[in-house]
Amino acid sequence: MNIVLMEYYRELKGYTYEKLSELSGIPIETVQKIFKGEAFSLDCEALQALEKVLKPEHYGNEVRETGAYGVKKKDYTLEDYYALPEDQRVELIDGKFYEMKAPTTGHQAASMEISMQIFHYISRKKGQCRVLFAPVDVQLDCDDQTMVQPDVLIICDKDKIIRRCIMGAPDFIIEILSESTQKKDMYLKLHKYEAAGVREYWMVDTDRRKVIVYFFEKDAYPAIYGMKDKIPVEIFGGELEIDFALVEDTLTDIGQ
């Protein structure tokens, strides 16, 4: 885990250097030097201890689960998913339901701006890929125990697009983080997407004005960008760059 990523997770968890020192058992002086880049290559054990405290797995076990009609079962299936009332929005992941709250205006504005930039690029290039945005069902594993609704996705295999859903892994997914979905998006769905064969996964943190980019075909750890950056879409060889300054402008216009 690089320093930039460690700093992001430190900020996300609200940990001071003193708290990190307490949780990791690493002297405060060493913690401070690591985050200043002064001891990054000097103490592997200290780095590993800090990563253990900061790694996103710590966000994965607190996702709120809800059952259909308030009844909790051991494992739900697509039959249960399709039996839900139309106004009850959930995702089904590995046989468990996770409720989804209505997105904020900032969430929707960011999603629309990103989608439009992708759409214009594909249209200009007369490409075969398609960009879609939520709500759209994705039967990620092609089984009856997982159905997710990514915020933005790119699908390049038209055979995966059927009437009721996307059948299989999209090539590219973006999730706009929110307080209610952050834990799920940063751990549970991160690993689900990678395992299913999603090639590239972005998480947009509009609160902290950061974008976390995973290109699974190349790097184990993500790159982190700011909201003023132009970020290359690697599945298109970096030829498409999403201009997040325009996303930032959109958020500013609506006061977020």
pLDDT in tens, 35-69: 887 755 556 788 888 888 887 654 433 334 444 44
Cα–chain-centroid distance for residue 120? 23
- What is the per-residue pLDDT across 72-113, written as a single tens digit (0 to 9) for each? 556 899 999 999 988 888 999 999 999 888 889 999 999 999
Residue 43's CB is within 10 A of a number of other CB atoms, namely: 16
- pLDDT at residue number 1: 65
pTM of the shown model: 0.84
pLDDT, tens digit, 9 for 90 and up, residues 140-159:
999 999 999 999 999 999 99
Query: Which of the four pLDDT bands, split at 50, 70 and 90, describes residue 3?
Result: confident
pLDDT digits (tens, 9 = 90+) for 191-210: 999 999 999 999 999 999 99
Residue 214 has a pLDDT of 95
Identify whether 85 is preceded by a cis peptide bond (ω within 30 of 0). no
